[in-house]
Amino acid sequence: MAIVKRQAVGSQEFGGSITRHGYGKQGSDMTNETASRPATRFILQARPKLLAGLRIVPVAMVLAGVASMAPDAAATGCTRPANIAVNGGTVSNQTTVDLSADGGLAVSLADGGDDNIAVGGNGGLLGSGGNAVAGNGGVAIADANGGMIDLDNINSGDNSGNVVAVTAGSSPCGYGARNVVVDGGTVSNETTVRLSADGGTAVASANGGDDNIAVGGSGGLLGNGGNASAGNGGVAVADANGGAVTVGNINSGGNQGNTIVVQGSQGGNVNVEGGTVTNQTTIDISADGGTAVASADGGSGNIAVGGSGGLIGNGGSAEAGNGGTAVSEANGGDVSVGNINSGGNSGNTIVVGS
């Protein structure tokens, strides 16, 4: 009977479980149960033989014996962890809409020249004298208007942060870790809408030239004298108007922060840092007018002589150094934006229960 108990204890010791202390206790109990010293000596002498017999037992039988004596899974799953640390990390949502339909640079020149001489021919017996034109500005048109931007709804909201759930202990253990540290991390939602349809720069120039001479031709017997024009400004038109921007609803709100749930923390410390929740909305829309410059100045030092009329004809007209027509526009454009929602946000949700 005592030998059978020795075999069982030897199997547990071979299996590596923590029943080695039990072996000493069983050995003492067996010694107490055995009244005679010869029996005790027999048991001690039989132990080397018994161990030698275990060495030749097939491996399969040894493993089967160890498996049959292994403790239940519930008993080995109750090792209490020392610390639990969770870092939620970074959750970032960034939306950038950057559109440009700005006008560029437009330059139109139709200036008159300098030091020109124009002489109109004389009329015949019945004809009119010819016209003379020298150094006059022409027609200049420059456009640098902004374009058009048409956008539908922009939605970058309704985002959620980290979801962290920690269950530190459960049945049948009944307790959790000694320390539970949870850092929810950073939740960031950034929405940037930049729309630009500004007017550019438009320069139109139709200035008259300098030091020009124009002489109209004489009329015939019945004809009119020719006209003379020197150094007059022409027509200059410059447009640098802002464009049109149309945007639907902009939604960057309705965001939620981190959700942290900690359960089963009896007997320990719980440190929860919810983290940082940031919602930033930037809207920059521009349809400003640009720069428009139109110039149609008259020249200087010009001479214009109209041709003389005939017997019943009229003399020609003479124009020198007169300013022309200059038109410049740099009006702002139109901006239309729907509803802008960056609210309805909520911070972190933290639940700590035992």
Q: Encode the chain (354 residues) as per-residue pLDDT tens digits.
A: 333 333 333 333 323 333 333 333 333 333 333 333 444 333 334 444 433 443 333 333 323 333 333 343 334 455 656 688 888 889 999 999 999 999 999 999 999 999 999 998 888 778 888 999 999 999 999 999 999 999 999 999 999 998 998 876 655 555 556 688 899 889 999 999 999 999 999 999 999 999 999 998 898 888 888 999 999 999 999 999 999 999 999 999 999 999 999 886 556 688 889 889 999 999 999 999 999 999 999 999 999 998 888 778 888 898 988 999 999 999 999 999 999 999 999 988 988 876
Q: At 66, list the tokens.
A: 């160890």
The closest of 165, 151, 153 to 196, measured between CA atoms, is 151
| Spatial distance between the Cα atoms of 308 and 328, rounded to a whole number of angstroms | 39
Nearest to 31 by CA among 47, 18, 16, 51: 47
282: tokens are: 């930037």
The pair of three-digit structure tokens given for residue 129, joined into one six-digit string: 């004298």
Cis peptide before 48 (omega within 30 of 0): no
Q: Where are the domains of the chain?
A: 1-70, 83-353
CB count, 10 Å around CB of 333?
23
Cβ–Cβ under 8 Å, residues 135 and 213: no
**DSSP alpha helix (H) spans, 16-86:** 20-33, 37-55, 59-68, 73-76
Number of helices (H) and strands (E) in the chain: give both, helices first: 5, 27
